[in-house]
């Protein structure tokens, strides 16, 4: 992937699931990557540097910024993959849990953008990839809070695209049902891939979509990619 040679990346939520699959793909392309998460597997790939970071906390993101610049210098690629699910009725759920999901999914991404994108603008080039969901723009029972955060992320992404063009490219990747620990780790409610019944894609399938966008020549932007099981109706 010739257009990725020499790039440096930061991946939030890179310790598991889709984020880790992206980190593995970046490592395979010999891209030096800082991985920001709260937990990590034992086998973080070469060229990857794990840093414990709670993206909902301003001091943690500030510390991450400083560590990234010590290890990598200014990154060329920012991938915002940190996210959390919740499955609650709006008339019965816990607003404190809703706030936690908003802080992770929406505010965490905004904090990462605010920290790292100004450096890309100063350098004259960069890529931002935001992992959204097919839930964006969709209303469904028990999914109001989660879907709202993903809808907001897509508005944020397109606003960012307009604010930073033509210097920085912005890509939204919206996966459908993906076979990761996401459903197991939802704050409330419990679903499985089997319960949903549409089949599932793998985290590697999503990572492939991310690398497809990143590897385009800088004058070409892939702004939106949806990847889902063929049997998923939305």
**Rounded distance between C-alpha atoms, residue 85 and residue 141, angstroms:** 14
How far is the CA of 18 from the CAs of 58, 176, 185, 203, 219, in angstroms? 24, 12, 14, 5, 27
Cis check for the bond before 188: say yes or no (omega within 30 of 0). Answer: no
Cβ contacts of residue 25 below 8 Å, gap of 6+? 204, 207, 208, 210, 211
**Residue 191, phi-psi category: left (phi > 0), alpha (psi -120 to 50), beta (remainder):** beta
CA-closest candidate to residue 129, choices 29, 211, 7: 211
Helix (H) or strand (E) holding 132: none
Structural tokens at position 214: 């990143």
Cβ contacts of residue 183 below 8 Å, gap of 6+? 85, 190, 191, 192, 193
Residue 109 · residue 130 · CB < 8 Å: yes
Active-site residue identified among 65, 146, 198, 212:
146
Assign 86 to helix, strand or coil.
Answer: coil
Active site residue 65: no
Residues recognised as catalytic: 146
């Amino acid at each position: 992937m010739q257009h990725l040679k020499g790039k440096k990346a930061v991946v939030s939520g890179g310790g598991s699931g889709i984020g880790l699959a992206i980190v593995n793909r970046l490592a395979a392309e010999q891209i030096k990557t800082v991985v920001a998460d709260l937990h990590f597997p034992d086998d973080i790939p070469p060229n990857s540097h794990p840093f414990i970071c709670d993206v909902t906390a301003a001091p943690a993101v500030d510390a991450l910024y400083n560590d990234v610049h010590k290890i990598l210098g200014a990154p060329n690629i920012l991938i915002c993959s940190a996210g959390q699910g919740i499955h609650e009725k709006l008339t019965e759920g816990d607003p404190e849990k809703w706030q936690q999901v908003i802080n992770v999914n929406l505010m965490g991404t905004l904090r990462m953008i605010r920290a790292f994108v100004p450096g890309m603008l100063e350098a004259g080039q960069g890529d931002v990839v935001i992992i959204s969901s097919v839930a964006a723009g969709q209303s469904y029972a028990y999914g109001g809070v989660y879907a709202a955060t993903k809808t907001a992320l897509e508005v944020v992404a397109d606003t960012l695209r307009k604010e930073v063009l033509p210097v920085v490219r912005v890509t939204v990747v919206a996966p459908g049902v993906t076979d990761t620990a996401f459903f197991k780790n939802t704050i409330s409610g419990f679903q499985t891939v089997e319960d949903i019944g549409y089949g599932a894609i793998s985290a590697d399938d999503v990572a492939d979509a991310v690398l497809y966008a990143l590897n385009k020549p800088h004058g070409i932007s892939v702004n939106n990619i949806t990847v889902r099981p063929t049997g998923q109706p939305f």
